[in-house]
Amino acid sequence: MKKNSALWRRALFAGRGLWIAAREEASFRTELLAVAGGVILLYWTGASLLWWGVGILLMGAVLAAELLNSAVESLADLVSPEYHPLVARAKDCGAAAVLVLSFTAVLIAALLLWRYLRLGG
């Protein structure tokens, strides 16, 4: 891919990346299911526009972090197919970034649910 390709061409490459992640990465598929659950929770609770904005932002951040983590893991495996402590460290840190964002999203969802239940729906 040339650096200054047309926007539509770059969008095709990005779409291919999403398709590859959905097809080959179990974690990404799990997170897509969590996103669907998050959308259902937001709808079910009648969340305000602010809650929707925060929820969409967090869901997008988790998916983006997983995509970046998958990219790091793929490059690390290419560069060093055998075990290397620095490669393991890079992979673990990438996974930790996804975990931190996911945990934050779950806490935010719990706050929304708690608020909804406390106010009686």
- Kindly name the residue from 24, 25, 66, 82 that is annotated as catalytic: 66
Buried/exposed code over 51-80 (b: 16+ C-beta within 10 A; e: otherwise): beebbeebbebbbebbbebbebbeebeeee
- Integer-rounded Cα radius of gyration of the chain: 18
Cα–Cα distance measured from residue 42 to residue 69, given in angstroms and rounded to the nearest whole number:
27
Cα–Cα distance measured from residue 12 to residue 2, given in angstroms and rounded to the nearest whole number:
13
Cα–Cα distance measured from residue 96 to residue 90, given in angstroms and rounded to the nearest whole number:
10
Query: Is 66 designated active site?
Result: yes
- Catalytically active residues, by annotation: 66
